[in-house]
Structure 1
Amino acid sequence: MSGRDSREPEPPATLRAQQEALAAYLRNPAEAPPPEDLDDRGRRVYRRLVFNNLKGLLSSNFPVLRRSLGEEVWLDLVADFLAEHHAETPYFLRVGEEFLAYLAGARGDRSGDPPFLLELAHYEWVELALSVAEEEPGEVSADPEGDLLTGLPVRSPLAWTLQYRFPVHRIGPGFLPEEPPEQPTCLVVYRDRVDAMGFLEINPVTARLLELITEDPAPGAELLRRVAGEIGHHDPERVVAAGADILADLRDRDVLLGTAPPAGPQTGS
């Protein structure tokens, strides 16, 4: 049986092994040993480049969160993310998703983190996700002048309904709630036809109306009567009258794009 002479030097590490060793060190230099063939200056340069690039990406994606936490806490959070999370994608535009996955998963509820941390991060990520979404309102078939009560309201694919425990749209350095209010916060975040971003705080009734428009399309008046029944309102027609103004406002904001065109008569050959 033949084998390598124990006096022979070990073969050089593979490129992959070298990359993994360098990556482990750059992620967490306090825990991983530095690569032997990289001098102190090189280590500092690479570490600074990696950390600063990640910090820059996250700071641009989550500016309110950064200001709300303060610079020292924010830098610690970025360092923890780099050390503890292994991303599933190499694309810069997906770094925000990876950060959310870290906050919701590996980080969990950590002592010292504000209770709104994950929700505020999600709200800021939604704005980024909508700003780069490929859907275009102009590609949706809808009559922009259609009657929203008698026709089927059409919702924009770039209008997302969100519900949070905390009023995330109000959080900032001057407002850092420690307890959520009794009522949840319902929001619509949207991108309009000229690519401007906007948000609208809505009540649970309007949130339910938008949900029905998406999941069970019907004429607007019918959907409003259904909502009136669900909330036990004594006068459904008052709900319809008030709802007409709500539907019109949502269309003005491009949350609704108009009404679905009526189905034409079937013709045979």
Structure 2
Amino acid sequence: MTVARDPGAPLTAFAAILTQRSAPTRAREDLAGLIDGAAALDEADRAAMLAASVDRYLAYRTMVHGRLRRTIREWIPRTIRRVGDRYPRDFAAFMEDPGPRTPYLRCVPGEFVAWALPRWRDDPALPPYLEDLARYELTDEDLRNEPCGGEAPTGLPLALDRPLRIDGAVRLQRHAYAVHLLPRAVDDASAPEARDTHLLVYRDRSSHQVRYLELTPRAAAVITRLLAGEGVQAALVGAAAELEVALDDEFLAAMVHFFADLSEREVLLGAEP
């Protein structure tokens, strides 16, 4: 029976060669069976794929796997160091199902981490802070490439009834471990302190380096509400109620210093018009 040509079928068959864990062995033993099982190719496309060298297919597979493996390792090096020998197996399983869905190389580490975290949580041999470390390392690299940020200041002073403009590259993170204090050396296997940690992450406008500011619970509650678009007064009142603390002079003085610090860091850019 003649198969109607599907323009995407050759790519689907080629993807099977790139992603399936058994592909190297199957391609050498039965390339036709491998591509026939992956896609319904018309006669011309099937003949063209079978005419290509298996060695060329596998060389390209090796190149793609190597580039993606290195990118993930470069994005989350300390996490991968702690994952250890299971990383190659995890990577191979990820490539087979679901495999990268993004067309952007820089987004592959995030997809891999999202896939891997549930599996790492179930492995008692891995440290309990691994999820926090992976998220921390991902944010560090993602923010370097974030197209948002660098918005112009409004030129308007803080007003209690208005929201504040906040740099678009700002992120908030909450961790169960103080992973931001771990040594940067990849070979260092130190364990972080187990404590509730709030971090404000931003990109320095002068150096373009990613910076971290550890927040008190009060500051974290307030900035979370400001990022959601609440006015200053509403954010202060809501944060105090959320934490079940008094909105007293000490609270307000601490927030004045906090806002001044964020303005100096060019995180707060003035009241919205």
Partners of 2:109 and 2:272 in 1: how far apart? 35
On the 8 A contact 1:142/1:154 being kept in 2, the answer is no
Partners of 2:149 and 2:246 in 1: how far apart? 40
* SS across alignment from 2:128: coil
* Residue 19 of structure 1, CA deviation: 4.3
Q: Which runs of 5+ in 1 are unaligned?
A: 5-9, 262-269
Which residue of the partner structure matches residue 162 of structure 1?
173
* Residue 212 of structure 1, CA deviation: 2.3
CA 117–25 in structure 1, closer or farther in 2 if over 3 Å, else same: farther
Residue number among 202, 219, 224 corresponding to 1:190 in the alignment: 202
Deviations 1:55-80 (A, max 9, x none): 1221222223233334x343333233
* Residue 242 of structure 1, CA deviation: 2.0
Q: Which has the larger radius of gyration?
A: 1
On the 8 A contact 1:149/1:244 being kept in 2, the answer is no
| Larger RCO (CA within 8 A; separation ≥ 6) | 1
Q: Which runs of 5+ in 2 are unaligned?
A: 33-49
1:232-251 aligned at under 5 Å gives the runs 232-233=244-245, 236-251=248-263
Task: Give the number of aligned pairs.
Answer: 244
- State the TM-score, normalized to the length of structure 1: 0.73
Residue number among 23, 26, 34 corresponding to 1:33 in the alignment: 26
* SS across alignment from 1:138: coil
CA 63–228 in structure 1, closer or farther in 2 if over 3 Å, else same: same
Counterpart residue type for residue 66 of structure 1: I
- Would you say 1:23 and 2:15 are equivalent positions? yes
1:68-147 aligned at under 5 Å gives the runs 68-70=82-84, 72-104=85-117, 107=119, 109-111=121-123, 112-139=125-152, 141-143=154-156, 146-147=157-158
- Would you say 1:175 and 2:190 are equivalent positions? yes
Partners of 2:19 and 2:247 in 1: how far apart? 62
> Identical aligned pairs, as a percentage?
24
- State the TM-score, normalized to the length of structure 2: 0.72
Query: Cα RMSD between the aligned structures?
Result: 3.4
* Residue 236 of structure 1, CA deviation: 0.1
* Residue 199 of structure 1, CA deviation: 0.9
On the 8 A contact 1:148/1:244 being kept in 2, the answer is no
